[in-house]
């Protein structure tokens, strides 16, 4: 007799986690990417890119590569 009640709770829980997952993916999409310059540039330039590089196109135009952060 308890199984139908547990299934209702399971359906509601799965729906809640699915909605939170979709919202999380939409909120964080692309925010973990960063602009990485080659070894010919100093490490200071690699770490301070957020000062002047805001988008993927800014990074590519300045000779960097748009990579996902570790």
pTM over 0.85: no
- Segment holding 67, helix H or strand E: strand 65-68
Distance CA 70, CA 59 (A): 18
How does pLDDT run across 18-58, given as a tens digit for each residue?
999 999 999 988 778 877 776 655 555 555 555 677 788 88
What is the three-state SS of the chain?
CHHHHHHHHHHHHHHHHHHHHHHHHHHHCCCCEEEECCCCCCHHHHHCHHHCCCCHHHHHHCCCEEEECC
**Which position has the higher pLDDT, 59 or 27?**
27
- Answer for the pair 13, 4: CB distance below 8 angstroms, yes or no: no
């Amino acid at each position: 007799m308890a199984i139908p009640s547990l299934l209702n709770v399971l359906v509601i829980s799965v729906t809640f986690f699915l909605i939170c997952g979709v919202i999380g993916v939409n909120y964080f999409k692309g925010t973990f990417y960063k602009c990485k310059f080659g070894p010919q540039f100093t490490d200071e330039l690699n770490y301070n890119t957020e000062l002047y590089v805001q988008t993927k196109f800014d990074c590519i135009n300045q000779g960097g590569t748009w990579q996902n952060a570790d």
